Every structure is written in structure tokens, then in C-alpha cells.
Amino acid sequence: MSLFDLNGKVALVTGASSGIGQRQAQALATAGASVVLLGRRQQQLDDTVAQLATLGASTAALAVDLDDREQLAEVAARAALPFGAIDILINAAGVNLRQAVDEITLESWDQTINLNLTVPFFLARELLPAMRSKGWGRIINIASLQSSRAFANGLAYGASKGGIAQLTRAMAEAWSADGINCNAIAPGFFPTGLTAPVYQNPVMLDKLAGQTAIGRNGELADLDGISIFLASAASDYITGQVIHLDGGFTAK
């Protein structure tokens, strides 16, 4: 079996209706995994499932609003219905409200921390018993440049992404001995709905590209290798790591 082969594995990808999660779902599916795609927008999920079917992929849509964290046990149970127990969780659902200090409310703070930090832990914990019983699992969180850098209007988002980096290490410490490796990918700037305000500003985009060592911002295809790697046997001895997928932005 190839080190990167995901045949026989079942993945749940949150935030799979668009952007980074959607691309990661495609990457895992093309490596052989059966993938459950989670998001709120049923139509986008259905369109993605149909598009991946043309590539021969085995995927299913799960329309859920993760703002309702009381549902996570039910979400985990529903995720296992199409293909069986989940082996690989990618926590890619996220929100960046970009609020100035005075605009932040308790509600907007809670919304950001809940989706970006609380849900990744509690959803993973719901999936843990099945992973433990197989003695194998993979949890991939999505961190950010803001896990280690401060950006304007990034208070709640930065707090959530700093938190997810540390949560990744703590999950790895708690669960890796059971065969469940936990890592995070920290992307630089990628063209998605979340970064639309940045991508509307060509001067800003050029500046950000210039801050990388490679000299360009991210492309969604850049996610494929790292996503398959962290989901597969190729990364068996890697856990608790935050891997920067940023063209060297944080190296400079």
C-alpha cells in the first residue's frame, strides 16, 4: 500500500462547501478516502458532491450549522451514516469577522471562538471513541498566520487561531498514544470567501506576496499535498505540529 493511499478511510471535512475545506475534501477523495462534506449551504455541498462524483470520488453532503454546538453528538452520529465511522477529521469551518476593537460584542466574540476553537475540540471528542477502537485516527485543524502574528482587526480571530495551535498540541499529547495524530495547517493568504476583502485590494495582495519567501500568495492546489500527507500513513510519526503552508511568510 502506498504511504499516501487513503482507500478504506472515511473523512469528515467541515467547511467543505467552499474554499480551503472544499479543496481539502477533494484532495482526500482523490487519494481514495470516502468523504463527508459538512457546511451550512446545502446547494454548495450538493454541487461539490456532484462535481467530485465526476472524478470518481465517493462523497456525501451533511448540511449542519456548527454555531449550534449542542448538536455535536448528533452531527458525529450523522457523519458516520454514509460510509461508517470517521477516521479523519479536518476542522476547516471558520469565520473571520474583521471587527475593530470597539465593534466586538460578546456575541461576535463567542461566534468566532465557538466555530474556530470550541467546535474543533468538541467535534473531535465526539469522534474519538470510534478512532480509539480502531487504534488509528487523524485530526487536522486549520490554524493561520494569526496563530503567531497579529493583524489589524484580528482580535477574536487571532485569539481563536492562537488557541487552535495550542489545542492541536494538547490534543496530540492526549490522544496520540491511542494512534490518533493531531496536527494543524497554518495557511498564508489563499483566495476564498473569507479573504475576499483582501483579494479586492491588489496593492495589499502584492504586499502580502512580497512578504513570502516564494514571492506569491497561496493557490488552493497548494493544499493538496499537505492535506493528504497529514491524513495518511506518510505522517505516522508526526503529531502536535503546526505546519505553515505560507510560502515562507513566517520564515522571513
With CB under 6 A as the contact rule, which of the stretches 39-47, 97-105, 125-133, 165-173 interacts with ligand NAP?
39-47
Which range touches ligand NAP (CB under 6 A), out of 71-79, 93-101, 126-134, 204-212?
93-101
In angstroms, the CA 177 to CA 15 distance is 28
**One of 2, 8, 41, 213 touching ligand NAP (CB under 6 A):** 41
- Out of 26, 112, 118, 144, point to the residue binding ligand NAP (CB under 6 A): 144
Asked if 17 contacts 41 with a C-beta cutoff of 8 angstroms, the reply is yes
Taking only Cα atoms into account, the Rg of the chain, rounded to an integer number of angstroms, comes to 17
Nearer residue to ligand NAP within complex by CB, 57 or 140:
140
27 backbone dihedrals φ, ψ, rounded to 5°: -60, -45
| CA distance readout (Å), 138 to 14, 54, 141 | 14, 27, 10
State the residue for C-alpha cell 465517493. 58
Stretch that binds ligand NAP, among 4-12, 70-78, 92-100, 124-132 (CB under 6 A): 92-100
- What gap in Å lies between CA 231 and CA 189, rounded to an integer? 22
Cα distance between residue 168 and residue 183, in whole Å: 6
Q: Quickly count: other Cβ atoms within 10 Å of residue 58's Cβ.
A: 16
Q: Which of 11, 15, 155, 157 is catalytic?
A: 157
The reply to whether 167 sits near ligand NAP by the rule CB under 6 A is: no
Annotation says 199 is catalytic: no
Nearest to 171 by CA among 241, 66, 95, 85: 241
State yes or no: residue 39 binds ligand NAP (CB under 6 A): yes
By CB under 6 A, name the one of 46, 67, 178, 224 that touches ligand NAP.
Answer: 67
**Least CB distance to ligand NAP at residue 93 (A):** 4
Q: Which residues bind ligand NAP (CB under 6 A)?
A: 14-15, 17-21, 39-41, 44, 64-67, 92-96, 115-116, 142, 144, 187, 189-190, 192-195
- Residues taking part in catalysis: 157
